Amino acid sequence: MRMNRRGFLRQTGAVAAAGVLPVSMVRLAFGQEGQDFTFAYISDSHIQHIRGNEFVRNWDQGLKRAVAEANLLEPKPDFVVFGGDLAQLGTKAELDHGAEMLSALRYPLYAVMGEHDYYLDLGEYWSELFGDHYYSFDHKGVHFVVLNSVLTYDEWTYHRWETPERRMLEMAGLDNPNGSPFMVGERQREWLRRDLARIPRTTPIVVLSHSPLQKIYKGWNFWTEDAEEVQAILAPFEKVTVLYGHVHQIQYNQIGSISFHSVMATAWPWPYPETYAHSGAYVPVMTVPMNRADPFNERDATGWQFIDVHTGRVAAHYTLYDNKNRTVAYNAATGRPEDTEYQNPARRIPPQAHY
């Protein structure tokens, strides 16, 4: 995309003046004075190379806007998470171009691996740019775990496809029956067990993964094959939140002590699984869906979020372009995440009806 610097400043300036930020922010709060904090979450930008120095303008715009708006957040987030699928086909050109746009962020960045970043060279170039495929860190009393949850069976990864390019293309098609279900895998689960062994059970845990760590719809890989095993490792902790990308839509759920929140894509929205007449799949029943996308508004049903961490629980604030912003926050009374405005069925609006 070829917006010059002045145009860019004019656009972001207008956004600031209006005071409306299309960001998904997450606040984590856990009761210690001065310890509540926020971070921004940008995900699924799918930067797509055409040829030479040309990239798909539409997807570039989504990421540039999210970066610009995250930089304008007040109060400032402590860091930014990029939730995976920076690239469309995992090429150096796409990852470089995406990393260049992300480099405009004025905060530390933690990156999560997506399948579109991984299956060309198995994450090798991504690692040069962003570091380890899985890792953990501590921030103001919260233990963060980043997983590479887009692995799959070895036979599929190493033996089925004649070239890495073919492997990437087969995994890139969401509805491709030649794809393979995502998983965390035994080696990484063992690492997770060891990583969590030293953490007190009362410490809030936030897991950042690309795939859902729950089973929603296998046909589109809204799925993690070893979700139950991963959940079992997390279950002993009192406050656990899983934040995931991949699904390009609002979802949330509660399984035992584990809260699940999806984040928006900056690139394009996806339909909910039940709108495919032959999927037989549904999103978690407590989810109030995002508005049905209007294709005539290019950025509709995309966005980013900032996250509030309060008393170790997450409130995800969805910044939605061309739409009213949404907040999904843990409700201590009901023990699950809830939309702060639309959870009551009587409050739902016609654009939330998907079919």
Partner 1 sequence: MRKFLIAALTALAGSTALADEFTEADLERWAAQFESVAQEGRNLWTSPELGTNGVACAQCHPNAANTHPETYPKFQKQLGRVAQMWEMINWCIRNPLEGEDLAPGDPRMTALLAYIAKERRGVPLEPGKH
Binding positions for partner 1, rule: CB under 8 A: 46, 48-50, 54, 56-58, 88, 173-176, 219-220, 268-271, 275-279, 292-296, 298, 354-355
Closer residue to partner 1 in complex, CB, 49/97: 49
Q: Which of residues 257 and 279 has its CB atom nearest to partner 1 in the complex? A: 279
Q: Is 220 or 342 the residue whose CB approaches partner 1 more closely? A: 220
- Minimum Å gap between C-beta 150 and partner 1 is 17
What is the rounded distance in angstroms from the CA atom of residue 278 to the CA atom of residue 75?
A: 45
Residues in the chain: 355
Strand 109-111 with 80-82, pairing: parallel
User: Please, what is the minimum distance in Å from the beta carbon of residue 268 to partner 1?
Assistant: 5
Residue 218 tokens read as 């296998």
Say what angle helices 57-71 and 5-18 make with each other, to 10 degrees: 50
- Nearest approach, Cβ of residue 271 and partner 1 (Å): 4
User: Which residue's CB is nearer to partner 1, number 197 or number 277?
Assistant: 277
Shortest separation between residue 153's beta carbon and partner 1, angstroms: 22
**CB atoms near residue 44 (< 10 Å):** 30
**In the complex, least distance from residue 276 CB atom to partner 1, rounded to whole angstroms:** 4
Choice between 202 and 275, CB closer to partner 1: 275
Which tokens is 105 given?
Answer: 């962020």
- The answer to whether the peptide bond before residue 75 is cis (omega within 30 degrees of 0) is yes
Nearer residue to partner 1 within complex by CB, 75 or 173? 173
Q: Rounded to the nearest whole angstrom, what is the least distance from the CB of residue 295 to partner 1 in the complex?
A: 7
CB of 312 to partner 1, least distance (A): 36
Gap between the Cα atoms of 304 and 253, Å rounded: 19
- Give the residue with the Cβ less far from partner 1, 148 or 180: 180
